[in-house]
A and B are shown apart, each in its own frame.
Chain A
Amino acid sequence: MSAIEIQDLTKTFGTKIAVDQLSLAVPQGSVFGFLGPNGAGKTTTLRILTGLARPSAGQALIFGVDISKNLQEISRRIGYLPENPAFYGWMRAREYLNFCADLFNLSAEERNERINTLLDFVKLNDVDQQIQNYSRGMKQRLGLAQALINNSDILFLDEPTSALDPIGRKEVLDMIADLSKSKTIFFSTHILSDVERVCDRVAMLDKGRLVIESDLETLKNDYIEPVFTLEFDGSPDLFTKLLAGLIWVVDVQTHKQTIVVRTNDLGTAQRELPKLVARTSLPLRRLEVGELSLEDIFMKVLS
């Protein structure tokens, strides 16, 4: 049984179609990256999956249970971190988590132990200020803690890293990696390096429609296209001319003294490119073999 199963899910606002016949399955225990540009429908999908919005058509199952039929039961097993987590500003972290624990009827021992563990986990244990004075990063971390108060089996995270500085981002990603050992994590983002760091499966949404769903390895293999970067001391024009007309060269781009060569035949390129460099006798500064980043795949699929 999948942790999340979405079938032909559609959500319209008036004439605007925010989510368009989306079908997806998220296996239990996976870290699922839900990608898409602004306005793709990520938040709308997450709001449906957490019961905050109702689908216009189609259905969604969490652990095989239909959301529209048994939300109370499902809400005990999920945790949700919204795009902009918001709290009662006059509360403090422990107070808010206590309030959340009340909502789940946690027993006294259970709650104390869990709240202490969570405050440690999100590094808010020695913060004693009202939430209204929190920084964005602190709110994000408290938001993660409240999503975990019921020891949820599925975590829904809506762009958990996009408003954070690099350090905050790393912290949150480390926490996600840590949590992925015991939970299914479904998180939306448009930051691709985050996906590369923690996800094992991805889906890409564009204008409400699913454009890709696959595991990260397959995605990379499908779209893999080796890229060579050569940097010279001086103008590389002489070298560019030699590349013209070669069948294993797909594309050549020149930025100042650097040339980026895309190829469809890694072996040949690896053997031939150094020979060509030697023929020009241009002073070479750098030669690098890389692969298309997820960023490039993203741009390619969307265009």
Chain B
Amino acid sequence: MIAFLKKEFKEIFKTYRLWVIPLIFLLIGLSSPASAKFLPDLLEGQLKAEGVVLKLPEPSDFEAFVQYFKNLTQLGLIAIILLSAGLVSDEKAKGILAQVLTKPVSRPAIVLAKWLAQGSWLILSFIVGALGCYLYTLALFDKASASRFLYANLFYLPYLLLIFSLSLAISAAMRSQMATALIAFVGFFLISITATLGQNYARYSPAYLANLSHKALSKSVSFSEATWPIATTTSLIAIFLIVGIWVFSRQEV
């Protein structure tokens, strides 16, 4: 386990992952307040040129944050799927793992080390992006509610980790990065539609965390409301990993 953890962290520091992952989150973090601020102006200008006079409400930090989480769901999660789809499957396809697996190693340790190391880097990148978003929003709008934004992020993070774990688990079971990404997208889609099932079911859904995080931006949300979705998210993360590891452990690599 230690050997694989060491290897994963080294890999993060010596490859594109060191810069690319935080950069993606930082870009989302910075572009969201910018577009919330300047898009209405652009739109008004465009319409005026066409002879329509429209007065859009002055945007606030709230719009910036809403935009941020929207972008996270549309771009961030997709980037996470693409960036983790090859974590195990690519090492299989290239034959790297075959060589390693003839040595006394534990297959679960390989997957868990990836989950811990790459997951940590993901969380760090997520924090970088959120900080960027907060500070830039503060600069553009002169005010930004730190506590609301913090809660919203706390609700969102488990959901993000779930999508990462889903992609990693499928990667452990598959042989190709493409197939992994495709199946993970289907899984992501299925998880996200569970939030639209109607209040009775939706409040147990992991995707409901995204709704809560949106809600937390405008009013206070009690943590008890998040208990269920966090519980299902945690269980799903465990189930995905267990199934992924189970398949990988029985597989001829």
Contacts and interface: CB of A to CB of B under 8 A. Distances in A.
A115 B96 CA distance: 20
A86 B97 CA distance: 8
Interface in B69-117: 94-96, 98-105
A51 B107 CA distance: 13
Given A50-B102, A103-B100, 17 more contacts: A51-B101, A52-B101, A52-B253, A78-B102, A79-B102, A80-B102, A82-B99, A85-B99, A90-B14, A90-B15, A99-B6, A99-B7, A100-B100, A103-B3, A103-B105, A104-B103, A150-B103
B142 interface: no
A268 B30 CA distance: 94
A-B complex: 9 closest residue pairs judged by Cβ atoms: A102-B3, A86-B95, A80-B102, A50-B102, A86-B96, A103-B103, A75-B104, A53-B252, A90-B14
Nearest to A85: B99
Interface of A: 47, 50-54, 72, 75-76, 78-80, 82, 84-88, 90-91, 95, 99-100, 102-104, 143, 146, 150
A74 to B, nearest CB: 9
Contacts of B2: 102
A50 B96 CA distance: 15
A253 B6 CA distance: 65
A90 B94 contact: no
A102 B7 CA distance: 10
Contacts, number: 60
A86 B99 CA distance: 7
Contacts of A104: 103-104
A51 B99 contact: no
Given A88-B7, A88-B11, A102-B2, A82 B103 contact: no
A75 B252 contact: no
11 contacts: A51-B101, A51-B102, A52-B98, A53-B252, A75-B102, A76-B104, A86-B99, A88-B7, A100-B100, A143-B99, A146-B99
Contacts of B100: 100, 103
A103 B102 CA distance: 11
Contacts of A90: 11, 14-15
A51 B99 CA distance: 11
Given A53-B252, A88-B11, A80 B99 contact: yes
A150 B105 CA distance: 13
Contacts of B104: 72, 75-76, 103-104
Contact of A99 (B3, B98, B252): B3
B3 A82 contact: no
A100 B103 contact: yes
Contacts of A76: 104
A88 B95 CA distance: 10
B17 to A, nearest CB: 10
Contacts of A50: 102
A133 to B, nearest CB: 14
A52 B252 contact: yes
Given A52-B252, A99-B7, A102-B3, A88 B102 contact: no
A163 to B, nearest CB: 14
Contacts of B253: 52
